[in-house]
Chain A
Amino acid sequence: MAEQMPSPLDVDRVRKDFPILERRLAGDRALVYLDSANTSQKPRPVLDALTEHYERHNANVARAVHQLGEEATSAYEGARDKIAAFIGAPTRSEVLFTKNASEALNLVANTMASGLAEDPRYRLEPGDEIVITEMEHHSNIVPWQLAARRTGATLRWFGLTEDGRLDIAGLRELINPRTKIVSLVHQSNILGTVNPVAHVVERAREVGALVLLDGAQSVPHMPVDVTELGVDLLAFTGHKLCGPTGIGVLWGRGEVLDGLPPFLGGGEMIETVAMDGSTFAPIPHKFEAGTPPIAQAVGLGAAVDYLTGLGMTSVREHDRAITAYALDRLHGVDGVSVIGPDSMVDRGATVSFTVDGIHPHDVGQVLDEQGVAVRVGHHCARPVCVRYGIPATTRASFYLYTTNAEIDALVDGIEQVKRFFG
Chain B
Amino acid sequence: MSESLYQEIILDHYKNPHGRGLREPFDAEAHHVNPTCGDEITVRVALDGEKVADVSFDGQGCSISQASASVLHELLTGGTVSRARDVEAAFVELMQGKGQVEPDEDVLGDGIAFAGVARYPARVKCALLSWMAFKDAVNRAQAEEL
Chain A residues packing against B (C-beta within 8 Å):
359-362, 365-366, 369, 376-378, 382, 385, 391-392, 420-421
Contact = CB atoms under 8 A, between A and B. Distances in A.
Contacts of A377: 36-38
A420 B1 contact: yes
B83 interface: no
Given A361-B123, A365-B2, A365-B5, A421 B63 contact: yes
A378 B64 CA distance: 18
Nearest to A376: B37
B126 interface: yes
Interface residues of B, number: 19
Contact of A420 (B2, B120, B126): B2
B6 interface: yes
B2 A361 contact: no
B37 A362 contact: no
A370 B37 CA distance: 21
Contacts of A362: 6, 62-64
B76 to A, nearest CB: 24
B60 interface: yes
B40 interface: yes
A391 B61 contact: yes
A378 B120 CA distance: 20
B37 A392 contact: yes
Contacts of A392: 37-38
A248 B34 CA distance: 28
A366 to B, nearest CB: 6
A377 to B, nearest CB: 4
B5 A391 contact: no
A368 to B, nearest CB: 9
Contacts of A421: 11, 63
B1 A391 contact: no
B39 interface: yes
B6 A391 contact: no
A361 B62 CA distance: 6
A391 B60 contact: yes
A20 B103 CA distance: 37
Interface string B119-141: 01001001000000000000000
Interface in B37-80: 37-40, 60-65
19 contacts: A359-B60, A360-B62, A361-B65, A362-B6, A365-B62, A365-B123, A366-B2, A369-B1, A369-B2, A378-B38, A385-B38, A391-B40, A391-B61, A392-B37, A392-B38, A420-B1, A420-B2, A420-B6, A421-B11
B1 A378 contact: no
Nearest to A392: B38
A373 to B, nearest CB: 12
A168 to B, nearest CB: 28
A359 B2 contact: no
A361 B66 CA distance: 12
B2 A391 contact: no
Contacts of A420: 1-2, 6
Contacts of B37: 360-361, 376-378, 392
